Amino acid sequence: MSRYTEAKELYAGCGIDTDSAIEELRNIKISMHCWQGDDVCGFDNDGPLTGGIQTTGNYPGKARSPQELMADIDKTLSLVPGKHKLNLHANYAIFDEGTFVDRDMLSPEHFTRWTEYAKERGLGLDLNPTYFSHAKAASGLTLSSPDKSIREFWIEHSKACLKITEFFAKECGQPALMNIWIPDGYKDTPADRTGPRARFTASLDEILSQPYNKDDVFISLESKVFGIGVESYTVGSSEFSLGYAASRGILPLFDNGHYHPTETVSDKLSAALLFFDKIALHITRSVRWDSDHVIRFDDETREIAKEIIAADPRRIFIGTDYFDASINRIAAWTLGMRNLQKALLEALLVPAIDFKSLQDEGRFTELIVRQEKIKTLPFGDVWDHLCEITGVPSEMDWYQEVTEYERDVLAKRD
């Protein structure tokens, strides 16, 4: 008897169909962020990261060109079960020699190499306007700036990104998400909290005035509790973003590194999904007050996954968002993607309907006993079976491929 066959029988004894769980997981797409591969640098700016974002570490082998970044993405996806999506930032536009334009003038032609790449691999594409690492973001204010010309520049950038997102959906034949996050805020206590938020509201309204295909293109608004250099006040707070999204018919995006350390996104999802048909997620791992650490198979990731499955994954745009330059970047990508998939698989390997009935009937002793029982079932054997049937390395083998790629490819980069 194979290990998977034995595991399958043990799960069946608890009312769980492992084959169905695996099949359902294979239909869940995760939008993998492109910026882990080059420390959020992109291709339109040689300067440092600015706007509340910081990457630490100098591990060798960072991607320096679109070709190298795409090769590294290919390697990562070869180690991850299933077909997914790629989440781009606008600063990853690819310019032919002599064709550079500023961000307010971006167009689909600057992303055709990405759509060609995605179509060849059966991937979908999502997009984030890039409101940081730019001279017109130097003040720390973009869509909320008191300078009208600054606001207009970023409004035009956002509208350009909306056209590009529509292009992604059409070319890839999959729904595409455009997520808006701004770094705007103040380091110290502001004299005026309302003004910046009123200007941000007007800017967003102007962006949304542009017609777009709402059947295939979705817009989300991402909040944040604070940023580097804007510790005292962020314009796009949680309350603002939820209120705006609800009132304008767009999606809220929950990033689990963008809240107070005592808050958990897993507890927010069931509340939000009562009032929104769809929502979006950036899954990461926060440490104290800092987000964007590599996703681990930890309690909060597992709780988020449980809520995704309970809610119906088709209602949720699932994306990753982290960057670590202190370790092998491909290993970081792979770890995060595989850990998120593990959490989703674990959530699918739960007799959720039975557990809900026990809760509703007040049979809490039986509930906790059964919840504890399934923790010792051979989950790892089910995961390894998934890896085997999707043609990716097992948990014991994938890192060997990363080390070989580092030796053969990454180590040869200057």
**192/197 Cα distance (integer angstroms):** 10
> Residue 411 falls within a domain, yes or no?
no
Mean pLDDT score across all residues of the chain:
93
Residue 355 has a pLDDT of 86
Question: Which pLDDT score is estimated for 402?
Answer: 95
Within a domain: residue 235?
yes
- The per-residue pLDDT for 384 is 95
Report whether pLDDT(226) > 80. no
Residue 91 has pLDDT above 80, yes or no: yes
In a domain, 394, yes or no: no
H helix intervals, 138-219 = 148-172, 194-208
Would you say residue 96 lies in a domain?
Answer: yes
Domain count along the chain? 1
Q: Return the active site residues.
A: 181, 222, 224, 255, 258, 282, 290, 292, 321
Contacts 24+ apart (CB under 8 A), 199-204: 199/143, 199/144, 199/145, 199/146, 199/151, 200/143, 200/144, 200/235, 200/236, 200/240, 201/244, 203/143, 203/144, 203/151, 203/154, 203/155, 203/158, 204/143, 204/180, 204/244, 204/248
Q: 181 in a domain, yes or no?
A: yes
Whether 405 is in a domain gets the answer no
336 pLDDT more than 70: yes
- pLDDT band for position 374 (50/70/90)? confident
Comparing 215 with 396, the larger pLDDT belongs to 215
Is position 124 within any domain? Answer: yes
CA–CA dist 42, 196 (Å, integer): 28
pLDDT bin (cut points 50, 70, 90) of residue 99 is confident
Residue span of the structural domain in which 335 resides: 29-344
Tell me the CATH number at 303: 3.20.20.150
pLDDT of 79 above 80:
yes
Task: State pLDDT tens for residues 28-71.
Answer: 999 999 999 998 888 988 766 676 667 776 899 999 999 999 99
At position 249, the amino acid (one-letter code) is: G
Q: Is the pLDDT of residue 396 over 90?
A: no
Expressed in angstroms, the distance from the first to the final Cα of the chain is 50
Q: Is the pLDDT of residue 166 over 80?
A: yes
| Beta pairing, strands 233-234 & 217-222 | unpaired
**pLDDT (mean) for 378-405:** 94
The pTM for the full model equals 0.93
pLDDT of 125 > 90? The answer is yes
Q: How much of the chain, in percent, has pLDDT values that exceed 90?
A: 77
Structure-token pair, residue 201: 């509201």
CA angle 277, 257, 335 (to 5 degrees): 95
What is the mean predicted confidence (pLDDT) over 194-222?
97
Structure tokens that stand for 164 in this block:
């590009």
Q: Is residue 361 part of a domain?
A: no
pLDDT at 346 over 70: yes
The rounded distance, in Å, linking the Cα atoms of 255 and 40 is 17
